[in-house]
Amino acid sequence: MTEITVAEAYLALLKARGVDVLFANPGTDFAPIVEAYARAGETGLDFPTPHTIVHETVAVGMADGYWQASGRMAAVMAHVNVGTANALMGLINARRDNVPIFMAAGRTPVTEKGRKGARDRGIHWGQDMYDQAGMLREAVKWDYELRLADQLEAVVERALAVAATPPMGPVYFTMPREIMAEPLPGFRLSPEPRQKPVPPGLPDPAAIVEGAAALSAAERPLIVANRGAGWHVLADFAERFAMPVVEFWASRASLPGDHPMHGGFDPGPWLEHADAVLVLDAMVPWMPAEQDIPPGCKVVQAGADPLFSDVPMRGFPADVAIAGDPAAVLEALAAEMALPPKGRGKEVARRCREGREARIAAAEAGNGTPMSPGWVGRCLDRALPDDAMIFNELGVPLPALTVRDPLGYFGGSLAGGLGWGLPAAMGAKLARPERMAVACVGDGSYMFANPVACHQAGASLGLPVLTLVFNNGIYNAVRRAALSVYPDGHASRANTMPLTSLEPAPRYDLVMQASGGHGERVEDPEALPDALARAIDAVAGEGRQALLDISVGVP
C-alpha cells in the first residue's frame, strides 16, 4: 500500500466512523488535505465527500441542518484562527441546541523552516496564537490540538464520541500543517472504534415514581416542550392523560399542529391555573417576568440535562428532575401514572381547538397591505407538501402553520446567532434531497447568512431551496426589546426608532437571480399564492433555487 500522510489517515478515519460529508472553507493550512483528495485514486482510501463553502457561517449552518434532518454528524473544516472566528457564531447556536458537529481547523505551522509544511507565507506569523481554541472553548463540548501523529485515531474517535454523547454538541479539533503532512507508516484502521458515544441512561425509577405522582395528582397539568420531545410518544401520552402541550420558543417540532392536545405556543393561559408542569427539554418553559406558576404548582423537568447545567443562570424550579431521553421518560411516566378523570380530555381538547381556530383566524385576517407574516404563513401552509422541511429564523410565525411531520419545522437556537436559517435549510436539503426545504427568514437574518455565499453554494451543489424573506425593513427584535423595556419611552414615539432601520433595502430577489435562481418581489397579498406556486415549481419542477422577497408589516 502507498505510504499515507496524517491528513489522509484523518479523512479516512472520519469516513470509516460515519462522517460522510466535509464542509470546508480552505486556506494555506489545507495543502495536505488538498493533496489527500487529489491522490485518493492512488491510495484507494475512502474519504468524506468534500464541499467547498465560501463562508464559515454557511458551512457550520449547513452542518447543523444536515444533522437536524438526518441525525448524521457532519464535519466542518476552517482555516486556522480567522476561519474559526467566522465559524464561531454557528457553533454558539449549535451548542445551545445540542447539535453535534465535528469542527476542525488547521493550525498555523509551528516551525519556521526545515519541515514539510513549515511557514512559507507572511500570514503564518500573523495568524499565530497562544491559544487558538480559547476563542470558542465555551461554545464546544471538547477541544484538542493534535500533537503527535500516532495520537490521531484515539483523538478523532474521542472527539466523535464526546460530540454524540447526550447532551450532544459540537467539538473542536486542530492540526498544525506539519503534522498533517507527516507520513504515517503502517497505519491501519481498527475495525471498530475504541471509543463510542455513551447512550442515554434509563430514567431514575425513584424520580419517575415521584414525577408520576405529581402529574397524576394534578387537576390542571401542563406540558411545555421545545426541542422535539418524542412526537408519536408525546402525542399518545398527551391524549391518554389529557394534558395540553405548549410549544414555547420551539426549535424543533414536538407534536402535530392539529393534534387535539396541542395547546398552542404561549404557556400563559394554561400556566395561570396549572397545578403541575412537565417541562420536556425546554430551556425556557415560560417568561418569569411575565408569567409565573401558581403557589403549590409542581414542576417536573426532564431531558438529557434537565437542569441545563451549561447555562450559567437558570432559576426555573425543578421539584423533580429526570435525566433521560424525553421519549423514554414519557414511556416510563406513563407506566406509573393514573388515568385522568373522565371529561377532562374533552374540556382540554375544546380549549385547544378554540385556541387554534383563533390563531388561524388572526393570521387569515392579515391579508391587508402590507400583509402580515401570519398571512404569509397561511398561504405557505396551503401551498407546501406535508413533508416539507421549514427552517424558520425570525420569519414565519409558527402559530400560522400546521406542522404534520417530525421533520416539518425547525426554529433557531435560543442562542440567537443570526444567519442560521438559510444555511441550515441547505444542509437539510443535502441530507434529504427528496424533501422540499424552505428557509423562512427575516430580512436581517437573510443578510447575516452571507446570502451570496449561500446561493453560490446552492448552485454549485445543486440544492434547490425555497427562501422566503420576510421584509419589514427593520430589526424588529431590537424594536420589540426597546418597547418591552421602555413601553412609553421616547423611542416608542419616534417616527423611526434609532438603531432599528434596515433601509434602504437591497433587492433580495435580484441577489437570487444573480446565482441563476428564480427571484420575485411580492408586495400585494393577493398576488402571494400565485408567486408561491411559481417559486415552488422552480424548486420542485426545475430543480432551481427560488426566493420571494415579501413585503410584510411590523407586528
Residue 174 pairs with which residues in a beta bridge?
105, 145
- Give the residue carrying C-alpha cell 481554541: 133
Predicted pLDDT at 266: 97
Residue pair 243/223 in contact (Cβ under 8 Å)? The answer is yes
Estimate to the nearest angstrom the gap between the alpha carbon of 359 and the chain centroid: 25
Contact call for residues 128 and 118 (beta carbons, < 8 A): no
Is the pLDDT at 1 greater than 70? The verdict is no
DSSP H or E segment with residue 104: strand 102-107
* Residue 333 exposure: Cα atoms within 13 Å on the Cβ side: 33
Domain map (residue ranges) of the chain: 6-181, 205-351, 365-551
Give the single-character DSSP code of 134.
G
pLDDT tens profile 486-540: 999 999 999 889 999 999 999 999 999 999 999 999 999 999 999 999 999 999 9
C-alpha cell belonging to residue 456: 453560490
pLDDT value at residue 17? 97
C-alpha cell at 183: 507520513
Q: Are 449 and 441 in contact (CB under 8 A)?
A: yes
Span 365-551 CATH architecture: 3-Layer(aba) Sandwich (3.40)
Percent of the chain with pLDDT over 90: 95
Whole-angstrom distance, CA of residue 555 vs CA of residue 552: 9
Per-residue pLDDT of 56-93, as tens digits, reads: 999 999 999 999 999 999 999 999 999 999 999 999 99
Residue 475's pLDDT is: 85
Distance of CA 190 to the CA centre of its chain: 33
Tell me how crowded residue 18 is: count the other CB atoms within 10 A of its CB.
Answer: 12
Across the strands, what pairs with 468? Answer: 440, 548
Quick: pLDDT tens for 335-386.
999 999 999 999 999 999 999 999 999 999 999 999 999 999 999 999 999 9
Same topology between domain 6-181 and domain 365-551:
yes
Whole-angstrom distance, CA of residue 334 vs CA of residue 215: 10
DSSP strand E in 316-377: where?
A: 320-323
Cα-Cα end-to-end distance for the chain: 65
CA R_g for the chain: 25
The three-class DSSP label of residue 76 is strand
Strands 518-522 and 546-551: parallel
Quick one: 205-351 is in which CATH superfamily?
Answer: TPP-binding domain (3.40.50.1220)
User: d(Cα 8, Cα 184) in Å, to the nearest integer?
Assistant: 9
- CA separation for the pair 241, 340 (Å, rounded): 6
Ramachandran bin of 265, using left for φ above 0, alpha for ψ from -120 to 50, beta for the remaining angles: alpha
Are 181 and 302 contacting, i.e. CB atoms less than 8 angstroms apart? no
DSSP string, 406-417: TTSEEE--TT--
Whole-structure pTM value? 0.97
Please check whether residue 457 is in contact with residue 51, taking contact to mean a CB–CB distance below 8 angstroms: yes
Cis bond upstream, residue 288 (ω within 30): no
CA distance 448 to 451: 8
Segment 270-298 shows an average pLDDT of 96
> Across the chain, what does the average pLDDT equal?
96
- Superfamily of chain region 6-181: Thiamin diphosphate (ThDP)-binding fold, Pyr/PP domains (3.40.50.970)
Q: What is the pLDDT of residues 408-433, one digit of tens each?
A: 999 999 999 999 999 999 999 999 99
The per-residue pLDDT for 70 is 98
Query: Residue 80 in contact with residue 51, Cβ under 8 Å?
Result: no
What does the alpha-carbon distance between residue 176 and residue 32 come to, in Å, rounded to a whole number?
10
Return the half-sphere exposure (C-beta side, CA atoms, 13 A cut-off) of residue 514: 12
